[in-house]
Amino acid sequence: MNIFAFITNVLSIGIPFSVSLLLASTGEMFNQRAGIFNLGCEGIMSMGAFLAFMAPHTLQGTALEPWANMLGILAAMLMGGLMGMLFALATVTFRAPQGIAGIGLHMLGWGVAGTLFRFFVGGVTGIPGLKPVFLGMNALAYLAFLLVPASWYILFKTPWGLKVRAVGTYPRAADTMGVNVARTRYQALIAGGVLAGLAGAYLSLGQAKMFADDIVAGRGFIAVALVYFGRWNPFLILGGSLLFSIAQSLQLAIQVQGIAFPYEFAVMLPYVLVILVLAFAGGSTVRGPAELGKPYNREKRV
């Protein structure tokens, strides 16, 4: 195989596989910019993947079939928003520790999606999934890439984006200026949840075209890491998602080519790469949201 075909193959497989990471980490970026890190991303993705799968699965052969994928995506986004709201209730209103609450949300989403799937479907069933529209990628993938400049614009050029950044950096000052900290954090968490739900929908509808308990397989946690990797900036997060996915497809392609290299190391490659970049990016002048991870209590003296 010539080198050009090799590179084309690696890219044509790697780029579509970056989409779910990109969506989830863009959502997580909104959460973290508002000062909340949501480790429950994986759980929201599981629920999103399940609901997006359920719509085409149950509507097969009905009058609604042409709309099934769309309905599935909407259901996934709605559920993502609701789970984001639930997380906001726990971490913003009740000021629960974010790490623990996030792990709780992860287990809730993962467990409920698996149980409902088992109850209503069970076993293994495929769905037709999303059709490619251009260059082998579906419409949702292009939407995800368009979301990158859109998120950048929202975050840095709109009043709402300024509020989000303010409540994540110095909520007390934002509060003094009349910004409703709790409401803004709720909004950011709901937005993040919607995107995580969409990321899950992409996994089941766009990639695997099926659902299984462990379909997300740790991608929600990688998305959280990619936000740090991307220094809370949508364009850098896009770079991180692409780097990770292309490294993934590259290691698979290397294995397939039969190059003598222990497969255990090949499988590790994408993760090692992210750790290396994180380590070297440590000296970056870009600082994360200063109040990340701290609940805000107006009554508390500091």
Partner 1 sequence: MKRFVFALVALCLIVGVVAAAPKTKVKIALIVESTVDDKGWCQAMHDAITAVQKKYGSALVEYSYSEKMKPVDAGSAARQYVAKGFDIIICHGAQYKNLVLEMAEEFPKTTFAFGTSGEIGPKNVFTYMPESEETGYVNGIIAGLVTKSNIIGLVGPVDGGDAARYNRGFILGVRAVNPKANVQVAYTGSFGDFVKAAELAHTQIKAGADVLTGSAQQALGALRAVAEYKDKNIWWLGQDTAQLTIPESYKVIAAASYAYEAVVEQLIDKRQAGVLGGEVLPLNFANGGFIYKFNDKVGPVLTADIRKAAEKALADITANKITIPWKDVK
> Under the rule (CB under 8 A), what is the footprint of partner 1?
1, 9, 12-13, 17, 118, 122-126, 203, 207-210, 212-215, 217, 219, 248-249, 252-253, 255-258, 263-264, 266-267
DSSP string, 122-162: -S--B---PPEEETTEEHHHHHHHHHHHHHHHHHHHSHHHH
CB nearer to partner 1: give 207 or 233. 207
CB nearer to partner 1: give 195 or 215. 215
The minimum distance between CB 43 and partner 1, in angstroms, equals 16
CB nearer to partner 1: give 74 or 121. 121
Alpha-carbon distance of 162 to 85, in angstroms, equals 21
CB nearer to partner 1: give 66 or 122. 122
CB nearer to partner 1: give 37 or 110. 110
CB nearer to partner 1: give 31 or 138. 138
At 61, which amino acid appears? G
Q: In terms of Cα–Cα distance, which of 112, 111, 94 is closest to 36?
A: 94
The minimum distance between CB 237 and partner 1, in angstroms, equals 20
CB nearer to partner 1: give 266 or 277. 266
The dihedral built from the CA positions of residue 150, 30, 243 and 260, taken in this order, carries a sign that is negative
CB nearer to partner 1: give 13 or 182. 13
Q: In terms of Cα–Cα distance, which of 46, 50, 57 is closest to 127?
A: 57
Alpha-carbon distance of 260 to 108, in angstroms, equals 42
Alpha-carbon distance of 290 to 58, in angstroms, equals 46
Alpha-carbon distance of 258 to 201, in angstroms, equals 34
Alpha-carbon distance of 129 to 209, in angstroms, equals 5
Cβ contacts of 86 within 8 Å, gap of 6 or more: 105
The minimum distance between CB 17 and partner 1, in angstroms, equals 6
> Hey, how many other C-beta atoms are within 10 angstroms of the C-beta on 26?
30
> Hey, how many other C-beta atoms are within 10 angstroms of the C-beta on 297?
12
The minimum distance between CB 295 and partner 1, in angstroms, equals 31
The secondary structure of residue 91, as a DSSP letter, is I
The minimum distance between CB 175 and partner 1, in angstroms, equals 43
The minimum distance between CB 79 and partner 1, in angstroms, equals 20
The minimum distance between CB 205 and partner 1, in angstroms, equals 12
